[in-house]
Amino acid sequence: MTASEKNIVLQGSELKQHYEVSQGPFKPKGVVKALDGVDFKVEAGKTLAVVGESGCGKSTLARQLTMIETPTAGRIEFNGKNLLTLTGEDKKEARERIQIIFQNPYGSLNPRKKIGQILEEPLVINSEMNPASRKERALYLLEKVGLKHEHYDRYPHMFSGGQRQRIAIARGLMMNPKVVVADEPVSALDVSVQAQVLNLMMDIQKEFGLAYIFISHDLSVVEHIADEVMVMYLGRVVEQGPTHEIFSQPKHPYTRALLSSTPRINPEQRIEKIRLPGELPSPMNPPLGCAFHGRCQYANDRCKHATPELVEDDKGTLIRCFGYDEGRLDYLNE
Amino acid sequence: MTQPTVSVQGPRTPLAEFWFYFRQNRGAVMGLGYVVFIVLMAILADVLAPHSPTEQFRDFILTPPAFAEGGQAQFLLGTDGVGRDILSRLMHGARLSLLIGLVIVMVSMIMGICFGLLAGYFGGIVDTTIMRLSDILQSLPALLLAIAIVAVLGPSIVNSGLALSLVYLPHYIRLTRASTLAEKNRDYVISSRVAGANPLRLMFITILPNCLAPLIVQGTLGFSNAILDMAALGFLGLGAQPPSPEWGTMLSTAREFIQSAWWVVTFPGLMILTTVLAFNLMGDGLRDALDPKLKQ
Amino acid sequence: MSLLSVKNLSVTFGTGDNPFRAVDRVSYDVDAGEVLGIVGESGSGKSVSSLALMGLIDFPGKVFADQLDFEGQKLLEMKDKARRKITGDDIAMIFQDPMTALNPCFTVGNQIMEAIAVHQGGSKKERKAKAIELLRQVGIPAPEERINVYPHQLSGGMSQRVMIAMAVACDPKLLIADEPTTALDVTIQAQIIDLLLELQREKNMGLILITHDLALVSEAADRVVVMYAGQVVETGPAEELFRNPQHPYTEALLKSLPESAAGKARLDALPGVVPGANDRPQGCLLNPRCPYVEDKCRQSEPELIATTGRHAVRCFKPLTQEDAA
């Protein structure tokens, strides 16, 4: 076991989530593969970003990791123990250590509860702490996320979006988590507030040694905060690797298209525009072969019939693409 | 310089906000005032009432009100067919009517909330069963169903209260279920789930407070319905039994004097009318005051 | 003469001595064939100003302006009916959420044909042919079939395309797009922006692109207006403005983007939040958050002053290139 492997706090393997969908009274039930075989690892103090468009399965992954949904198949290991087979105290303990921050700060705080009650709820449920020490912890974390003690007795509607997201972060920290799953935590915020919240998240990560699973569609944010990036398309990982590798030389055509579609202020950072035709295929009946072939300009016959596997390159990046395997992606040869 | 206004503006408690909106509806404030008046009258009936509600003044049968011709100063609103003081009976009747209304609304609301939360939260077969049963209840005319139940259980104030609670149940179930469905998938509920809250806590502590606003409004309106239907049952002789001074019963026993002594019928009728109106006005105001918050 | 010319447009809400100015003396103009980007955070008044333009501010909002001219016609002095004719025929608008902007009860074709009928008329057959042609123009595959689907059968990107088709149905001279891609995915956003720019060039329309996304504006717009708390704080040609921002707010916004922080651990965040309705400061509206604040900024309010060429800044001490470096 190498040093870095020791630090792995959360690991998923072959995670699947299939939903049965009724298509009408006399038709056979359809299967939606929201997540179809996803593997990942995340180390303490590191950030794994999950990137993709809506419908790619990134939110399903977040729901699995926080045990809101049970995977159809696969393993989730937290500190070496399989979450899915845990029971009783162990399960409760694991649940406390994996927390979630939601996208919409207006919906994630109970509008009828005071900030203090919201923050202390996890403690009330999971611990036998007395009210005084609960309050002490809540105040301590309010301070940590840059809010004041007097905010303890207020209701959520008195706060701005950025402040609410700070409260949500404080709530996530109440149980001393090891892993925080952040589902688009800054995409509902204004630019200047977004920077404040991102800074806060990074400060807290350093201070508490948290591992982040950072789900986002905003690549410029991901580039800034992530150590490793996982690009998903229709329930599968298409490219996965160190942030620097992915952003300096995207290998999968989809990653490249995503990057080139992201607007940039600095003209030097803009890369040649690749416009993907069409839209994400319906997960109800995904195309045969590589799921991306319908929108890919490099697709050939093989892509239409066979499904590529994830292949590792010499720099530790995983790519799921026949074009890459066969060396026919011309942008890589420039 | 701008600082003071900020700190005043910021922490407006939900109660203050509620009062701010409620105050803007003048009818609602009047309704509230009248309801407070009736409640005080009911509580202080023993002190305020000039006579006992059941004492029969045999010498003063069917005395007109004090302000009418031939009235007596000691019987402000006149006396009924057996010489009981109408004002005193109305005051004591307020007690009975309000109590009945309150009990009926509480019973049906609590049961409705439980069933509605169960149906909305668990869905599936639980939902189907509860909702179909409530559909059946709702498909029968309310008063007819109540009459049928009372006929089986026997006429009494408790039985008719029970019957009416059952009749009103479907409204509360539907309302609670609808709001529960809307709230169930909000992020704050999910984050409580992630924190490890069990279904009971989720239903009653997390979700329920956010569903209360429409229920409170429905409860207030239901209150007036309960008083009205109770009066109707009383009028039919199925509710409160004489000599207890219930408004509906007072009306029904006064039927024979409609043409000869108008006051015996008019005052109980007016009481029912104004009380129901006040509750409805108040309910409207509550709806206005609580709804903008829901929309946020 | 510019296509649209706005001078000192203000929109106030509320009554009494101190009504809330959602938009405060905003001036800009748009030429035919030009893309004007309006950027700002939420609450900056960027959407309200365009609604005021279209005459869509309802009571209790009040609109004032020294000048609100479209092709030399004074919109503010017109009767409602005449104004509606202009705003309907020559100015079109696209909104943020395409899913709610289409009426779910009617087919897509029906709604486009309705838009054509109101402004151009024509027989049903002609209108249908036009609707199919429009759907083809906005890049919807198999328009003959899609014309009969209902909005809920379309994805967000497709719905936005339909909205664009409706907007350009009567060949407007000015198109206002209010956050047209905020609800969409990145690759779809790129498609829609390309489509808008293509149509704009083809028809030589003026395009006002309202968004919170600085990078998007920097790529798409010719000129940019930066708004803060209801006021225009800086305006100028896109490239120049983003290269050499002269207002501290613009500079701070650009710095707070993760893109500008390459290699740095922390982002340069502007402290505080956009002031709300009740807590606007005295003097320059940015003064509590501004790193360059001086006493003067707390006492009096700067005017929007032209600096170089078409560049104008609302600041007592506009940043020069040396400051920014």
- Measured between CB atoms, does B70 come within 8 Å of chain A? no
CB-based contact (8 Å) between C311 and chain B? Answer: no
Residues of C in contact with B12 (CB under 8 A): none
What is the structure's pLDDT at B229? 87
Query: Residue A235 is encoded by which pair of tokens?
Result: 């329930």
Using pLDDT thresholds of 50, 70 and 90, give the confidence band for residue B291: low
Q: pLDDT at position A240, please?
A: 94
Report the distance separating Cα C145 and Cα C142, nearest Å: 6
Give the C-alpha distances (Å, rounded to integers) separating A12 from A41, A79, A222, A307: 6, 11, 21, 22
Contact A119, A135 (CB under 8 A): no
With cut-offs at 50, 70 and 90, classify the pLDDT of residue B3: very low
In a domain, B19, yes or no: no
pLDDT tens digits, one per residue of A173-209: 998 899 999 998 988 888 888 899 999 999 999 999 9
Min distance C195 CA to chain A CA atoms (Å): 11
Residues of B in contact with C280 (CB under 8 A): 2
pLDDT at residue B18 is higher than 50: yes
* Per-residue model confidence (pLDDT) at position A22: 77
CA distance C187 to chain A (A): 6
Inspect the interface and report whether the beta carbons of B6 and C281 lie closer than 8 Å: no
Q: Do B187 and A154 touch (CB under 8 A)?
A: no
Distance from CA of A328 to the nearest CA of B (A): 45
What values do phi and psi take at C38, rounded to 5? -110, 115
Nearest CA in chain B to C299: B1
Structural contact between residues B62 and B264, judged by C-beta atoms closer than 8 angstroms:
yes
Q: Quote the percentage of chain B above a pLDDT of 90.
A: 24
Facing residue for B187 by CB, picked from A95, A108, A113:
A108
SS (H, E, C) chain C: CCCEEEEEEEEEECCCCCCEEEEEEEEEEECCCCEEEEECCCCCCHHHHHHHHCCCCCCCCEEECCEEEECCEEHHHCCHHHHHHHHHHCEEEECCCHHHHCCCCCCHHHHHHHHHHHHCCCCHHHHHHHHHHHHHHCCCCCHHHHCCCCHHHCCHHHHHHHHHHHHHCCCCCEEEEECCCCCCCHHHHHHHHHHHHHHHHHHCCEEEEEECCHHHHHHHCCEEEEEECCEEEEEEEHHHHHHCCCCHHHHHHHHHCHHHHCCCCCCCCCCCCCCCCCCCCCCCCCCCCCCCCCHHHHHCCCCEEECCCCCEEECCCCCCHHHHC
Q: What angle do CA A82, A84, A90 make, to 5 degrees?
A: 70
Mean pLDDT of B66-74: 80
What would the mean pLDDT of C233-256 be, rounded to a whole number?
A: 91
Confidence class of residue A117 from pLDDT cuts 50, 70 and 90? Answer: very high
Q: Give the pLDDT confidence of A39-90 residue by residue, as tens digits.
A: 999 999 999 999 988 888 888 999 899 888 889 999 999 888 888 888 878 8
Q: Which chain A residues touch C214 with a CB distance below 8 Å?
A: 191, 265
For the ranges A108-117, B1-10, B108-117, C149-158, the one whose mean pLDDT is highest? B108-117
Q: Is residue B1 part of a domain?
A: no
Residues of chain B in contact with residue A155, where contact means CB-CB under 8 angstroms, are: 13-14
Task: Write down the pLDDT at residue B75.
Answer: 84
Domain coverage including residue B245 = 26-294
Name the minimum distance, in Å, from the CA of A233 to any CA of chain C.
12
Whether C288 has its CB under 8 Å from any CB of chain B: the answer is no
Structure tokens, A334: 């420039």
Averaged over C147-165, what is the pLDDT?
88
| Amino acid A199: pLDDT | 92
Arithmetic mean of pLDDT over chain B: 84
Task: Kindly determine whether residue C258 and residue A261, on different chains, have CB atoms separated by under 8 Å.
Answer: no
* C280 lies within 8 A of chain B by CB: yes
How much is the pLDDT for A168?
Answer: 93
Residue-level pLDDT at B10: 46
Range scoring the smallest mean pLDDT among A250-254, B105-109, B287-291:
B287-291
Q: How confident is the model at residue C1 (pLDDT cuts 50, 70, 90)?
A: low
Share of chain C above pLDDT 70, in %: 97
Q: Which chains touch C (3 or more CB pairs under 8 A)?
A: A, B
Contacts of C158 in chain A (CB under 8 A): 279
**What mean pLDDT comes out for the span C224-232?**
92
Taking the C-alpha atoms of residue C108 and residue C60, their distance in angstroms, rounded to an integer, is 34
d(CA C209, CA A263): 14
Residue B5 pLDDT more than 60?
Answer: no
Query: Does B18 reside within a domain?
Result: no
pLDDT single digits (tens) A8-29:
899 998 999 988 887 777 777 7
- What's the token pair of residue B52? 């006992």
List pLDDT tens digits, range A248-281: 889 999 999 998 888 888 877 777 777 788 777 8
Report yes or no on B287 lying in a domain: yes
Q: Give the pLDDT confidence score for residue A154 in this predicted structure.
A: 86
Q: Is residue B260 part of a domain?
A: yes
pLDDT given for residue C204 in this prediction: 92
Per-residue confidence (pLDDT) for residue B55, from 0 to 100? 84
pLDDT score, position C228: 92
- pLDDT one-digit tens code per residue, B138-167: 898 888 888 998 889 888 888 888 899 999
Closest CB from B196, B201, B210 relative to A112: B210
User: How does residue C318 score in pLDDT terms, banded at 50, 70 and 90?
Assistant: confident
pLDDT exceeds 60 at position C191: yes
Nearest beta carbon to residue B10 from set A66, A96, A158: A158
Please determine, for residue B127, whether its predicted confidence score (pLDDT) is greater than 90.
yes
Mutant choice from B184, B187, B200 vs A, greatest count of A C-beta within 10 A = B187
Instruction: Count other Cβ atoms within 10 Å, centred on residue B187.
Output: 20
Q: What is the pLDDT of residue A2?
A: 52
- Where residue B251 sits, what CATH number does that domain have? 1.10.3720.10
If one counts the domains in chain B, the total is: 1
Query: What pLDDT, on the 0 to 100 scale, is given for residue A3?
Result: 52
Whether residue A112 and residue B193 make contact (CB cut-off 8 A), yes or no, is: no
* Residues B72-95, mean pLDDT to the nearest whole number: 86
- Residues with Cβ within 8 Å of residue A89, at least 6 apart in sequence: none
Residues A146-150 have a mean pLDDT of 89
Tell me if C279 and B5 make a contact (CB, 8 A cut-off). yes
pLDDT band at C98 (very low <50, low <70, confident <90, very high): confident
The domains found in chain C, sorted by start residue, are: 4-90+170-324 (3.40.50.300)
| Half-sphere CA count of B205, side-chain side, radius 13 A | 14
Q: Is the pLDDT of residue C16 over 90?
A: no
Nearest to C242 among A224, A225, A265 (CB): A265
B2 touching chain C per CB within 8 A: yes
- pLDDT at position B240, please? 77
What pLDDT is recorded for position B294?
Answer: 45
CA–CA separation, A78 and A94 (whole Å): 7
The model's confidence at residue B295, banded by pLDDT at 50, 70 and 90, is very low
Q: Is the pLDDT of residue C178 over 60?
A: yes
pLDDT(C14) > 90: no
- Per residue in C55-90, pLDDT tens? 888 777 888 888 888 888 888 888 888 888 887 788
Residue A157 pLDDT > 70: yes
The ipTM (two decimal places) reads 0.85
Taking the Cβ of residue B186 and every Cβ of chain A, the question of whether any pair is shorter than 8 Å is answered with yes
What is the arithmetic mean of pLDDT over A225-238? 92
* Stretch (H or E) spanning A48: strand A47-51
B157 is a domain residue:
yes
Chain C: nearest CA to B8, how far in angstroms?
Answer: 10
- Arithmetic mean of pLDDT, A205-234: 92
C190 to chain A, minimum CA–CA distance in Å?
6
**pLDDT over threshold 90, residue C232:** yes
Domains in chain A with CATH codes:
3-333 (3.40.50.300)
pLDDT at C323: 57
Check CB contact under 8 Å for C278 and B6.
Answer: yes
Average pLDDT across chain A, whole number: 87
Q: What is the pLDDT of residues C274-313, one digit of tens each?
A: 887 777 888 888 888 888 888 888 888 898 888 877 889 9
Higher pLDDT pick, B256 / C263: B256
pLDDT value of position B114: 95
Which chains would you list as touching A if contact means 3+ CB atom pairs under 8 Å? Answer: B, C
